[in-house]
Amino acid sequence: MTLLKIDRLSLTIHGTPILKDVSLNVDPGRILGVIGESGSGKSITAFSVLQLLPNGTECTGSIRLSGTDILTCSEPKLCGIRGRDVGMVFQEPMTALNPLQTIGAQVAETILVHENVSKAEATKRAAEALQRAELPQEKFPLSRYPHELSGGQRQRVVIAMAIALKPKLLIADEPTTALDVTTQAQILDLLKRLVAEDNMGLMLISHDLAVVADLADDLVIMQQGDVVESGPAQALFGAMQHPYSRALLEASSHVPDRVGEKHETSLLQVRNVVRDYQQHVHGWWGATTHFRAVNNVSFEIQRGESLGLVGESGCGKSTLTRAILGLEEVQGGEILFDGQPVYTHHHANKDVRRRMQVVFQDPYGSFNPRWRVEKLVSEPFHLLQTPLRGQEREDAVVEALESVGLGAKDRHKYIHEFSGGQRQRIAIARALIIKPDLIILDEAVSALDVSVRAQVLDLLADLGDRFNLTYLFISHDLSVVRSITDRVLVMKSGEIVEDGPTDAVFDHPSHDYTKQLVAAAPVLPVGAV
């Protein structure tokens, strides 16, 4: 019998239609992958199973859990179902736990809410659940607080909480999006194991095709509140029908065309760079501690080359970027751009600074919301000794916008009038406007949906060829790095552990860490489309 059966579910929030005739099934012991771009209604579908919906929501259709109609259940009955019959794991492990309670108490609470057992008994079972979620008591006692755990560990606590009562159905809403690839792989393995052990049904939501492809038995592909395609995973990957699904798949494995002619002259030299952070623990007269974020890093970038930099979160990638840009002074080593130091006399060297630009990760946070595009894009002119004025300036802005595929009239708009992908184009236009030699892209596509990401990558490849740009491309996503770089550096805890041509490094990793990374990276099944 089907465990969860959603039939023609339609949903509106304050009258706005969000879901349209969504139907899907989850069977015990099987994993249903739900895929779709941001805003396609994946989370809302998940929440509607638990009926934890925003105010003003109206549902029609039916949701049946082991035959019970969820939509007609009373609130107390729903409370009985939540946590006991259906467990849920959320995307953001950093905020999903109450910071003021121990993990033990939070896991035990699931048990206490549903079963009339003593506290001691509940605690004992909480310890077991954590054990199953691979948080052994010896290392992670129940008395830990969430802030004493890493993101992956917190996600395990959330999982332990969700499986403590061995629910029939587990819903995981993008459980690994916020995590590193290696951690992601571990968590996904854990989920798979638990499903198999308890014969649970798992609804796994993700925007990443590759993640789901590895794991799911069945697939549902959603677009703007609609299920556009569904069926067993194997079959589906082989023969996608709906154009949207095909586009999604294509974009996920997109490799931009690049000519990539590289000169044999060195543009940027980084030699033995050390960056220490001094941390004032408690205000100005508090104790200071030192933290070495970048440790003795050396490498070179050739003119016209596209160099990748990969590594886990916190390994020092952004710190290195800031050092190269001359925004912060380094504590050791030197950085030369075209033979000149980027940092002299405690100040950035403006002569070389104007030959480098950067594109940041967050398309929403990297623009002043109160400025018009024109002013935003022309900000780097500040670096020039004689900034362009008047018509010349306007022409330059228009040219930059047009080169990233936007129109001249877009320059009068504000940033909130653009989508994420368009914003990232504007960021690139801003980087291009003073015609730099080197552009640093710090996770420049990580926040974008796959299809948009593919477009931006194409654009970057195209611009690189047209203007003979040199890229330093930073990302944690190996497949992206692989598709756009010639050479790659692998960074771990502030040090470069491996470098070499991209394909060589990824196909035949030599350092243990690189091997781990490559193994953990989810891949689409070969032969898909």
Partner 1 sequence: MSLLFHNRSFLPGIILTTVFAAAALISLAWVPYDTTILNIAEKLKTPSLAHPLGTDQFGRDILSMIMVGARTSIAVALVAVGIGMIAGVPLGLAAAARKGGLLDEVIMRMNDLVFAFPSLLIAVMITAVFGASALNAIIAIGIFNIPVFARLTRGAALTLWSREYILAARVAGKGQARISIEHILPNVANLLIVQGTIQFSLGILAEAGLSYVGLGAQPPTASWGRMLADSQTMISFAPHLALFPGLAILLTVLGLNLLGDGLRDLLDPKLRRART
Partner 2 sequence: MLRYFLKRLLSLALSLVAASVVIFLVLEVVPGDPAAYMLGLNAQEDTLNALREQLGLNGTILERYLSWAGGLLTGDFGVSYTYRTPVAEMIGDRLWVSLPLALYALTLSTLIAFPAGIWAASRRGSFVDTGVMGATQLGVAIPNFWFAMLMVLVFAINLRWFSAGGFAGWDAGFLAGMKSLTLPAIALALPQASILTRVMRSSLLDTLSEDFIRTARAKGLTRAQAMWRHALRNALIPVLTIMGLQFSFLLAGAIIIENVFYLPGLGRLVFQAISARDLIVVESVVMLLVFAVIVVNFAVDLAYALVDPRLRRRR
Ligand X SMILES: Nc1ncnc2c1ncn2[C@@H]1O[C@H](COP(=O)(O)OP(=O)(O)OP(=O)(O)O)[C@@H](O)[C@H]1O
Residue ranges that bind ligand X, judged by CB under 6 A: 13, 18, 36, 38-44, 54, 207, 277, 279, 291, 293, 311, 313-319, 476
Which one of partner 1, partner 2, ligand X, none interacts with residue 147, CB within 5 to 8 A by kind?
A: partner 2
Pick the closer one to ligand X by CB: 304 or 311. Answer: 311
Pick the closer one to ligand X by CB: 238 or 365. Answer: 365
Which of 174-182, 216-224, 321-329, 446-454 is the region at the interface with partner 1 (rule: CB under 8 A)?
A: 321-329
Site string for partner 1, 386-425 (x = CB under 8 A): ------------------------------x---------
Site string for partner 1, 357-376 (x = CB under 8 A): xx-xxx--xxxxxx------
Site string for Mg ion, 305-324 (x = CB under 5 A): -------------x------
Pick the closer one to ligand X by CB: 312 or 410. Answer: 312
Here the contacts of 479-485 (C-beta below 8 Å, separation 24 or greater) are 479/210, 479/253, 479/521, 479/523, 480/445, 480/453, 481/308, 481/310, 482/308, 482/506, 483/254, 483/255, 483/256, 483/457, 484/256, 484/258, 484/306, 484/308, 484/457, 484/460, 485/306, 485/307, 485/308
Which one of partner 2, Mg ion, partner 1, none interacts with residue 390, CB within 5 to 8 A by kind?
A: none
Minimum distance from residue 430 beta carbon to partner 1 (Å): 7
Distance CA 469, CA 88 (A): 46
Distances, alpha carbon 347 to alpha carbons 10, 300, 342, 350, in Å: 59, 22, 9, 9
For partner 1, the binding residue among 353, 355, 453, 492 (CB under 8 A) is 353
Largest CA distance in the chain: 77
Task: Please report, for the chain, how many H helices and E strands are present, in that order.
Answer: 18, 22
Distance CA 27, CA 98 (A): 32
Which one of partner 2, partner 1, ligand X, none interacts with residue 345, CB within 5 to 8 A by kind?
A: none
> Edge to edge, what strands does the sheet with 470-474 contain?
356-359, 438-442, 470-474, 306-311, 487-492, 495-501
For partner 1, the binding residue among 52, 235, 239, 327 (CB under 8 A) is 327
355, 337 contact by CB (below 8 A): yes
318: three-class secondary structure by DSSP: helix
Distance CA 514, CA 495 (A): 13
Which one of Mg ion, partner 2, partner 1, none interacts with residue 506, CB within 5 to 8 A by kind?
A: none
Minimum distance from residue 123 beta carbon to partner 1 (Å): 39
Q: Does 53 contact partner 1 by CB under 8 A?
A: no
76, 106 contact by CB (below 8 A): no
Which one of partner 2, Mg ion, partner 1, none interacts with residue 529, CB within 5 to 8 A by kind?
A: none
357, 380 contact by CB (below 8 A): yes
Which one of partner 1, Mg ion, ligand X, none interacts with residue 283, CB within 5 to 8 A by kind?
A: partner 1
Pick the closer one to partner 2 by CB: 110 or 306. Answer: 110
Strand partners for 491: 311, 496
Minimum distance from residue 123 beta carbon to partner 2 (Å): 16
In DSSP notation, 7-58 reads: EEEEEEETTEEEEEEEEEEE-TT-EEEEEE-TTSSHHHHHHHHHT---TTEE
Strand partners for 12: 17, 58
Residue type, 478: L
Pick the closer one to Mg ion by CB: 43 or 403. Answer: 43
Sign of CA dihedral 285, 287, 292, 293: negative
Minimum distance from residue 300 beta carbon to ligand X (Å): 20
Minimum distance from residue 173 beta carbon to Mg ion (Å): 6
Which one of Mg ion, partner 2, partner 1, none interacts with residue 52, CB within 5 to 8 A by kind?
A: partner 2
Site size with partner 1, rule: CB under 8 A: 31
50 contact partners, CB below 8 Å, separation of at least 6: 78, 81, 82, 86, 88, 171
What are the E-state strand segments in 214-286? 218-223, 226-232, 266-280
Interacting residues with partner 2 (CB under 8 A): 50, 52, 75-76, 79-84, 87-88, 90, 92, 95-101, 109-110, 113-114, 145, 147-148, 158, 161-162, 281-282, 285-287
Minimum distance from residue 45 beta carbon to ligand X (Å): 7
Pick the closer one to partner 1 by CB: 171 or 440. Answer: 440
Which one of Mg ion, partner 2, partner 1, none interacts with residue 361, CB within 5 to 8 A by kind?
A: partner 1
81, 52 contact by CB (below 8 A): no
> Edge to edge, what strands does the sheet with 68-69 contain?
16-26, 4-13, 57-65, 68-69
366: three-class secondary structure by DSSP: coil
For partner 1, the binding residue among 283, 339, 390, 527 (CB under 8 A) is 283
Pick the closer one to partner 1 by CB: 158 or 434. Answer: 434
293, 277 contact by CB (below 8 A): yes
State phi, psi for 109 to the nearest 5 degrees. -60, -40
Pick the closer one to ligand X by CB: 205 or 401. Answer: 205
Give the distance, in angstroms, between the CA of residue 42 and the centroid of all CA atoms in the same chain.
Answer: 17
Minimum distance from residue 242 beta carbon to Mg ion (Å): 21
Which one of partner 2, partner 1, Mg ion, none interacts with residue 353, CB within 5 to 8 A by kind?
A: partner 1
Sites of contact with partner 1 (CB under 8 A): 280, 283-285, 322, 325, 327, 348, 350, 353-354, 356-358, 360-362, 365-370, 379-383, 416, 427, 430
